[in-house]
Amino acid sequence: MKIKFTLILVFISFCSLGCQESQPSSINLNNLSNYFVNSPDIKLDLPPILKEISGLTILNDSTVVCVQDEKGIVFIYDIQSNRILRELEFGGDGDYEDIAKVNDTLYILRSDGTIFEFSNYSSSTSDVRIYETNIPSKDSEGLCYDSQHHRLLIGTKSKIEGNRKGIFSFDLVTKTLIDVPTLIFDTDLLKPNVESKGIIFGGNRKFKFKLSAISINPLDSNLYVLSANEYLIFVFDFKGNLLEVAELDINLHSKAEGIAFFNNGDMLISNEGVNSKPSILRFKPK
């Protein structure tokens, strides 16, 4: 499948808007306007089996569903008692990167862009269907549900062409990938905009925008993006404008690979256990 580059100028204009903010921000680089991203209200240390936790989604007020990037298993996790309630197998071993919930169905993203649809997952009549999206990226890591448009959003970690990374849409009615990216981020254009917010690159610190997780915040309807390798969290609107960026404390966010929001705006970030225990951090809005 080829991207329809005849329409690419439209989406480059989205990125251009996001890369041409006129005034540097005066924000604290360790915070977003709505969250103290390095001061969690709750920190949960996870068991060793979730050392490679790579994504999570909200099930209800007390429970989340997690995946880790080695086993085809979803973990139903109680964040009040801090324990695994159930483990449900949906596939074989693989590089599973993120998960999203839509009604009674879970969608799991494998790094090659394959989507696993795990319906009725909590019952004896559970069913797994597999969709090969053929997304033009060697490595896709972000997945979230866009309820306003009834679609899944897929974020690419690797380039789709040149220095561009993309957010693609997977239509949940037709169960197909929309060829044209919903958003395009040109890293060459995005870098100066990030630097205008006070984040400086140079020396051993390179800007590569290696997206690791995405989620839509129900309070502001903006797209929150994690870049684990760069210890950064970004906020974009759906015109592609970069609204905010903040640095993540390496001692707290060992490898931020998952992000999700409760309906009240509470934000969860999951971290793989690199040099510490894997964790889930909860941040309440300011």
The predicted structure's pLDDT at residue 8: 37
Report pLDDT digits (tens) over 132-171: 999 999 999 999 999 999 999 999 999 999 999 999 999 9
With cut-offs at 50, 70 and 90, classify the pLDDT of residue 186: very high
CB atoms < 10 A from the CB of 275, how many? 8
What distance in Å separates the CA atoms of residue 7 and residue 257, rounded to the nearest whole number? Answer: 31
**What pLDDT is recorded for position 275?**
85
pLDDT, position 138: 93
Q: In whole angstroms, what is the distance from residue 236 CA to residue 240 CA?
A: 6
pLDDT at 210 over 80: yes
- Predicted local confidence at residue 125, as pLDDT: 87
> How far does CA 175 lie from the centroid of its chain?
20
**Alpha-carbon distances, residue 116 vs 78, 227, 250 (angstroms):** 23, 24, 32
Question: Residue 57: what pLDDT?
Answer: 98
Fold of 5-283: Lipocalin (2.40.128)
pLDDT tens by residue, 251-262: 999 999 999 999
| pLDDT of res. 216 | 98
Q: Where are the domains of the chain?
A: 5-283
Compute the distance between CA of residue 284 and CA of residue 277 in angstroms, rounded to an integer: 22
- Strand order in 232-236's β-sheet? 213-216, 223-227, 232-236, 242-247
- Mean pLDDT for the stretch of residues 111-129: 94
**CA 181 to each of CA 131, 135, 163: distance values in angstroms, whole numbers, following the listed order:** 18, 10, 14
pTM: predicted TM-score of the whole model, two decimal places: 0.90
* Rounded-to-integer distance, Cα 263 and Cα 219, Å: 8
Can you give the chain as a three-state secondary structure string?
CCCCHHHHHHHHHHHHHHCCCCCCCCCCCCCCCCCCCCCCCEEEECCHHHCCEEEEEEEECCEEEEEECCCCEEEEEECCCCEEEEEEECCCCCCEEEEEEECCEEEEEECCCCEEEEECCCCCCCEEEEECCCCCCCCEEEEEEECCCCEEEEEECCCCECCEEEEEEEECCCCEECCCCCEEEEHHHHHHHHHHCCCCCECCECCCCCCCEEEECCCCCCEEEEEHHHCEEEEECCCCCEEEEEECCCCCCCCEEEEEECCCCCEEEEECCCCCCCEEEEECCC
Q: Are strands 105-110 and 176-177 parallel, antiparallel or unpaired?
A: unpaired
Separation CA 124–CA 86 (nearest Å): 14
Distance separating alpha carbons of residues 139 and 110, to the nearest angstrom: 9
What is the pLDDT at residue 204?
A: 87
What is residue 11's predicted lDDT score, i.e. its pLDDT?
37
The pLDDT confidence band at residue 98, using thresholds 50, 70 and 90, is very high
Comparison of pLDDT for 9 and 230, the residue scoring more? 230
The more confidently predicted of residues 5 and 281 is 281
Q: Residues 52-93: pLDDT tens digits?
A: 999 999 999 999 999 999 999 999 999 999 999 999 999 999
What integer best gives the mean pLDDT of the chain? 91
d(CA 67, CA 99): 7
Looking from the CA of 239 toward its CB, the CA atoms found within 13 Å total: 9
Give pLDDT tens digits for 38-52. 999 999 999 999 999
